[in-house]
Amino acid sequence: MKTLVIAEKPDMGRTIAAVIEPRAKNNRSYLEGDRYIITWAIGHLLGLAEPDAYDEKYKKWNFGDLPIMPEQFKIVPNPRTKDQLKIIGELAGRCQALVNACDAGREGQYIFALIRQQLKLTQPVKRLWISDLTAESIAKGFEGLQDGSEFENLELAARARSEADWLVGMNASRAFTTKHRTLLSVGRVQTPVLALIYDRQKEIESFDSLTYYEIKADFEQQERKYVGTWQGDRLTDGEKAKTIADKVRGKQGVIAEYEVKDTREYPYKLYDLTLLQREANAKYSYSAKKTLDLAQALYEKHKVITYPRTSSNYVTEQNIDGMHKTLHMLKSSPYRDLAEGADQRIVHVNNKSVCNPSRVEDHHAILPTLRRPGSLTKEEQHIYDLVVRRFLSHFYPPAEYKQHTLLTEVETETFKTNVKELLSLGWKVCLPGEDGGSKTSGRGKKQDDEDDAEELVSEPFTINRDEPVQCIDAQAKEKATQPPKAYTEGTLLKAMESAGKQLENEELREVMKEAGLGTPATRAATIERLKKVGYITMQGKRITVTQKGRTAVELIRHAGVELLTSPEMTGQWERRLHQISKGEAASEKFMENVKRFTVSIIDKVRTQRKADASLFEPGEDDKGKRKRAGEAGKDTGKATGKSSGRQSESGTKDASRRAPVSASGGLQPLAPCPREGCGGQLIEGRKGYGCNHFRQGCGFVVWKEFEGKQISLNMLNALLDKGQTQLLTFKHPEGDFKARIQLSDPGSGKLEILRADN
């Protein structure tokens, strides 16, 4: 009998088949060769069931039914992909062994585990664990397939993550929504991230700017000119600042102190996903999701970079030879000049800034592969360029500088000067359009720190400390202290990585990675969810909290469940999940704590006072339209997760497209979905009437506006019952006419005009 290989997606399956079964017969949903049958999962084929799968009463949202605590979680197939699940089951019946070839990570492990559970597969399992999809890596991976039992702890962590998100998201969202008569999406990760943004915005709004004065002086010694900044307590008196400037202008001074030291700057760390997303946001204004999608395409479709959903900035000893080969490949690419100038001897197993196995968990840093890119889009090329240049930079020596620090005294007043003299660009030749300046992204002092401002020069800087200098000018400039900067997606990702802690120390940041908010693979989705549920909006690159987002944070905190908004505590939960994946903690204990926390949320919300509806109305700065308590719809809630196991950190997938709140406080479905085999219910959203099984793949929706007519509930009922509305009058430049609106496609909700007979 044969072995069944289950990949995560079709492209991956076909790529694997081309290596292990090059003459395999293509059967559309699978490929069959002499030894292997290769098929795929199309992402998540299964997910946790909604509450009404446990009890019909949960179809209506009622506070009295909370908390919902399944003794054992049920899983359900995704209707959109159930045919593929059936095919996998049929193929498995013909095979004596299985290979899990899903993504080598927590979610990939979970996808395979749910398939195996649902289909009751008992064959022995091997695990393919590779970081790129090149033929060489696939062949090597199949030569060293690992036993499936070695990944049981990873599966436990994946299940714990999914079930914890379900418990917290499902119960908390229903509790706050039914209590306050407005759809409020609450989640284990999305809520503390929202709290981070909220707190930053409150800091900005409460910031009281202080006016102060800075004195800059221009000095000259022979033909050398330089600028110094006055040293002393911050000046808030403009007259005093002007007096000092007048006092030194035109006077002679001396060099009180002069220190010169050699400094080196080493390449920035190799990319993990979060760092890549941050850099792409800063340089190209790409959202975190867009960068992830582009990187995933470069990995899956083009196969020119390694697995992107990694949290590591390092490689292992086994990667060094491959890095050398990739460098050689780049010598015959558009990066030829940079590759020719590189020194492969710099990257070796003892170079701890590159090769550090103790810092590599599931996957090494993102690297270019041996595959030469074919036709990339402009945006894909941007991401590939970032990865290649960062890779090449590690084959170059450090950038070298002379750091000059001067203290100049004039009329008893002291001025400080920092000059950074470039000796050698080193690895910085790999930075596009850079001149070796200190403003390159990655790390370094804040450039807006006036006390430490430095001048970068590329020619030799020489000062004779024993000769006098002349102050040729001095000016007092009015300044104002600046508020904290609003989050961009890039800076928010950095905050999520360290659970909101402002850590400048790279070593501490590295330790905090295990306790960040979410994982590199889920952070982009969390930010997108906050946008879609109407909690945050973008103003250019800046993230701002909407009125609804503000009220959500305040209600949660005032309910006494601050833990739900605590980035640090939620980060510790993520750390515990990481420990479960390593066999260092018990998933049962983690879930017990989650259940206790869920019960405490319900108990505290129960005694909370109902919020006034006006608290959810948008303020002047909110971009979105008004969202009333009776509006749920796909625009307000659909970001709370997919109905797959990757339903996200919020776990509130059934809150995504729910019915409007009725007068009695329940959430009422309007009618059964007419799409054959769906089984969902239609609910009213802001722009249309859609199916609450949207996340399972049902795309049925009747838009409220059609050909100038507003589709009312009565008209909707007529469309569903009779297939058409009553006779209506339509306005037209060439003359009004009578017609009915007809439901032309019960599978999608498409409408058309049916003119009356003349």
CA distances from 343 to 265, 339, 346, 394, 398 (A): 17, 8, 6, 9, 12
Element of type H or E holding 143: helix 135-143
In contact, 441 and 279? CB cutoff 8 Å: yes
CA distances from 435 to 58, 187, 392, 406, 438 (A): 63, 45, 17, 24, 9
Which is catalytic among the residues 226, 268, 307, 487? 307
Residue 307 known to be catalytic: yes
Nearest to residue 453, comparing CAs of 256, 249, 228, 210? 228
> Which of helix, strand or coil describes residue 262?
strand
**Residue 709: what are its φ and ψ, rounded to 5°?**
-105, 145
**What one-letter code names the amino acid at 612?**
D
**Rounded-to-integer distance, Cα 306 and Cα 57, Å:** 47
Structure tokens, 513:
């990675």
Please report how the helices 288-300 and 378-393 are oriented relative to each other, as an axis angle in degrees rounded to 10. 80
Structure tokens, 701:
């929706």
Give the number of other CB atoms < 10 A from CB of residue 316. Answer: 15
* DSSP string over 92-132: HTTEEEEEEES-SSHHHHHHHHHHHHHHT--S-EEE---S-
Nearest to residue 65, comparing CAs of 602, 607, 692? 602
Residues constituting the chain:
758
Structure tokens, 70:
């399944």
Give the number of other CB atoms < 10 A from CB of residue 534. Answer: 27
In contact, 651 and 165? CB cutoff 8 Å: yes
Residue 286: HSE in the Cβ half-sphere, 13 Å Cα cutoff: 24
The neighbouring-strand residues paired with 407 are 257, 416
Cβ density class 342-368: b for 16+ within 10 Å, e for less: beeebbeeeeebbbbeebbebbbbbbb
Element of type H or E holding 704: none
Residues 6+ apart with CB under 8 A from 397: 343, 346, 424, 426, 427
**Rounded-to-integer distance, Cα 167 and Cα 189, Å:** 13
Residue 577: HSE in the Cβ half-sphere, 13 Å Cα cutoff: 29
Reported in sequence order, the residue ranges of 111-250 that DSSP labels E, i.e. its strands, are 125-127, 146-147, 211-221, 224-230
Nearest to residue 743, comparing CAs of 725, 727, 728? 725
**Rounded-to-integer distance, Cα 18 and Cα 28, Å:** 14
- DSSP, res 358: G
* C-alpha R_g of the chain: 31
Side by side, the strands of the sheet bearing 750-755 are 728-730, 737-745, 750-755
In contact, 126 and 147? CB cutoff 8 Å: yes
Catalytic machinery residues: 307
